[in-house]
A and B are shown apart, each in its own frame.
Chain A
Amino acid sequence: MSSPLLALRQIVKNYGGVRALRGVDFDLRAGEVHALLGENGAGKSTLIKIVTGAHAPDGGTISLAGQPVADLTPASARALGIACIYQQPALFPDLTVAENLALRLDATSAHARVDWTARRARATALLDRIGAAIAPDTEVCTLSMPEQQLVEIACALGSGARIVIMDEPTASLTQKEQHLLYAVVRDLRKNGVGVIYISHRLEEISALADRVTVLRDGQSVGTHAVGDINEAGLIRLMVGREVAQIYPAAESAPGAPVLSLRGVGCTASGVHDVSFDVRAGEIFGLGGLVGAGRTELARILFGLTPADSGQITLAGETLLLRSPQDAVAHGIAYVPEDRRRHGVVLELPIAQNITMAVHRRLFPTTWLRFGAERALALDYIRDLAVKCAGPDAPGGSLSGGNQQKIALARWLATRPKLLILDEPTQGVDIGAKSEIHKIIRRLAQEGLAVILISSDLPEVIGMGDRIGVMAHGTLRTILPGGSDPHTVMAAALGTAA
């Protein structure tokens, strides 16, 4: 038998102190659909970035058809026949399908004449090959998401790709469109193309893939023929052994409910029928896959995208949250997911970042009181053990974990009733991570109601006193803290395991 189309050996990749990949082996044969499975943050995206040449590995070898390839770049990867179809198609929306295809496929010089007839003919041929009923003169912005994905696939075909990577291609597709896509994937396979297929839908994997590799914590934990393993087995591989890390445990029982949601929904952000309570002193873990609607729910509670149905009650008062100011006035604090864009203003000094949400209390006359500001900032710098050059150092001079502490300090300063933390330990090194866990537990212990959104399954299970699992915009189930990770994962995937 010939050597595989693509062979990755002992691939290592570090981002700063975070080990994203720690020695991954992966094979892809010609005419095979190889599914790649893993939790959020298991290393799938990193692996894809390495195969497409976007990032260089820190160790290991990549071979294509038996030939070792050094320093893969996006351009050389494309030239070698590696194509990637992302969840969000990266086409030029104002150009036609034929023009988009030509931009990707033609290496024309600036002065070459455009042969419109040939362009159109090729576009038609490529689209026909994948059975897509799209006219080459259609502007891309008028196409639906799946149609755009089809154009991407046509592009991959046209470039003579031998390896096609599909990153959750069915995430936004309807049932019918999914089947169309499956047919295209099978057709690619028949033509000897190797497909790396990333998906969270287990039923899809068993229907479509030949083999499946599961990644966990940056390592491959097994490659199996799809016929040899069932869904429960896959979940077991994804989740792995019991939660290894030690999380600070609750020392007292939670008090009365602080927040109550009844049938809360927002059409614009796709959240519907969410009902749960959070008690004082309780950490309510909110788990689920990326896109399940957790951040969207947080944005509703913080007034960024107001709810249009249901009832939100905080400390016995029914709230109408139309803006973040409303939320802040009622004692709701939200530490956002995108720390660098929303959580901390990188150019401003730490002190100003910390006092940003308490202007009214700290400066009641609107006149700034620099001494009081500095004192408050120093209090939190000390309390949360922020490693910094001082309260006047810009927020951007801090490491990720310390920036997160600043974002947290800003909201603690508001003395909230409800604290919503969205991925508080994402991109934070291990040491700072456990520090942040301790802080969160301490805050709950002091009587704060905490909603902890995290894609890190052990974190949600380890920290949460109860765990709400979201999928497809709604709360699927509420599980007790310390639940079996398999149960949580099964709920997040929407299967009954």
Chain B
Amino acid sequence: MSTAAHAPASFNRYRRDWRALLTRHEMLLLYVLIAEWLFFYFAGTSTNRRGVIVGFGTWDRQFDILRHSCEIGLLALALTPVIITAGIDLSVGSLLGLCAILFGKLWHDAGLSIPVAIGLTLGIGALAGALNAVLITALRLPPLIVTLGTYSLFRGLAEAITRGSITYTDFPETFLFIGQERWLGLPTQAWIFLLVALAMGLLLHRTTYGRAFRTIGLAPEGARYAGLPVERRLALVYVLAGLIAAIAAIIYTARLGQAKADAGTGYELFAITAVVLGGTSIFGGTGTIVGTLLGVAAIAVLKNGLACLPVVMRLNAAEEMSGLFTGALLLAALTASVLPKILSNLRPRRHSSTQSIPPLSP
């Protein structure tokens, strides 16, 4: 066609540059992840007295990492589109707790079957997300404050319902299969996690919805002037976050075999860390699902790997260490991502300041 003839030679080159720019952060993170994994493989694996390999380098440990990262991973998937629209949702961890409690109540107290209780719980999650959505889009309140409010509200509700003491247990084996068994070689919940990841990936990268999220994150006014349904798209993002938090609640309950009001406490912060580590800009507009998955993996491997290190085991400080290193990793990643920009900004500025000094002045 005449397209190729008309287009300047540089048309395709630009395209590749642009792609390279986008993938650079994810590639960097992949290297970090591999390095991390190799380090723990060599430093965190040992043979015990009976000659059995223990620690990080076992298949069991790998599956365990996967199993334990599903809930925070789901929340991170939920938060990726939220943050891409330049919003935030602090309430997902609390909502996980509330949904876990309500699921337990629906099954245990209301006597509903497990599938019905799951269905209702997912609906409740979406509804709770809709509450955030209404406050943010209809009343135009800032997402940070709205979800800070619902963060307390949802957790408070969960605690009020259980009066801080009730724990729902004795779930049927068939339900616990979701959280404690393997299916087709992988922990069951990993399949759910991967399915949600695929769905979110498609939504974000292959549909007009993802386009709208990005545009809103980059230029909310510009999106309005382009006739995009800004409010409806923003609402969708928060409803989806609620729905996915409910899925995470089900998996959490199935993994531990119990539903308590404090389920998922602090998870929202781990999830945000994973999303930002994965290259999603907290200012909105950029971010990928692949990046988020890598971010989740980097944090999960770090946390589990540290627990396998002999030094850490001797000090009995796995929690503290993982907090410390996760924080350091996040700050390093953020610094690395802005460093090229700062360096390139420094040069022209220095240039222009020497230019603007006038030749003479009495």
Task: Name A residues whose Cβ lies closer than 8 Å to a Cβ of B.
Answer: 56, 70-71, 302, 304, 324-325, 327-328, 334, 336, 341-349, 352, 356-357, 359-360, 363, 366-368, 375, 378, 382, 389-394, 410
* B interface, CB within 8 angstroms of A: 3, 6-8, 10-12, 14-15, 18, 206-209, 211-212, 214-215, 218-219, 221-229, 285, 356, 358, 360-362
B190 to chain A, nearest CB (A): 27
Task: Out of B12, B15, B206, B227, name the residue touching A357 (CB < 8 Å).
Answer: B227
Instruction: Please give 20 more A-B residue pairs, beta carbons under 8 A apart, in addition to A302-B225, A356-B226, A394-B18.
Output: A70-B358, A70-B360, A71-B358, A341-B219, A345-B215, A345-B219, A345-B223, A348-B214, A356-B211, A356-B228, A357-B226, A357-B227, A366-B209, A368-B206, A378-B7, A382-B6, A390-B11, A390-B12, A390-B15, A392-B18
Asked, given contacts A70-B361, A389-B11, whether A325 binds B227 with beta carbons under 8 Å apart, the answer is: yes
Residues of A within 8 A of B218 (CB): 345, 347-348
B15:A392 contact, CB within 8 angstroms: yes
Q: How far is the CA of A325 from the CA of B232 in the complex (A)?
A: 11
The residue in chain B whose Cβ has the minimal distance to the Cβ of A336 is B225
Give the Cβ gap from B244 to chain A, nearest Cβ, in Å: 20
Given the known A-B contacts A375-B3, A389-B14, are A324 and B358 also in contact in the complex, defined by CB atoms under 8 Å? no
Q: Which of B7, B11, B225 has the most CB of A within 10 A?
A: B225
Most buried by A among B212, B215, B226: B226
Residues of B within 8 A of A359 (CB): 208, 211-212, 228
| Chain B residues with CB under 8 A of A343 | 222, 225
Question: Which of B6, B208, B214, B225 sits near A324, CB closer than 8 Å?
Answer: B225
B211 — which chain A residues lie within 8 A by C-beta? 352, 356, 359, 368
Residue of B nearest to A391 (CB): B11
B14 close to A334 (CB less than 8 A): no
Closest to B3 in A: A378
25 contacts between A and B (CB under 8 A): A56-B356, A70-B362, A324-B225, A324-B226, A324-B227, A325-B227, A327-B227, A328-B227, A341-B221, A341-B222, A345-B215, A345-B219, A345-B226, A349-B18, A352-B211, A352-B215, A356-B226, A357-B227, A368-B208, A378-B7, A389-B11, A390-B14, A393-B14, A393-B18, A410-B226
Q: Which of A345, A349, A375, A410 has the most CB of B within 10 A?
A: A345
Complex-state Cα separation, A327 to B227, whole angstroms: 8
A356: B residues at CB distance < 8 A: 211, 215, 226, 228
Top 10 closest pairs, chain A to chain B, by CB: A390-B11, A328-B227, A342-B225, A389-B14, A359-B208, A392-B15, A324-B227, A356-B226, A390-B14, A345-B219
Q: How far is the CB of A354 from chain B (nearest CB, A)?
A: 11
List of B residues within 8 angstroms of A360 by Cβ: 208
Contact A392 B206 (CB under 8 A): no
Chain B residues with CB under 8 A of A345 = 215, 218-219, 222-223, 226
| Bound-complex Cα distance A341 to B219 (A) | 7
Which chain A residues border B208 with CB–CB below 8 Å? 359-360, 363, 366, 368
Question: In the assembled complex, how far is the CB of residue B224 from the closest CB belonging to chain A, in whole angstroms?
Answer: 6
CA distance A91 to B214 in the complex (A): 36
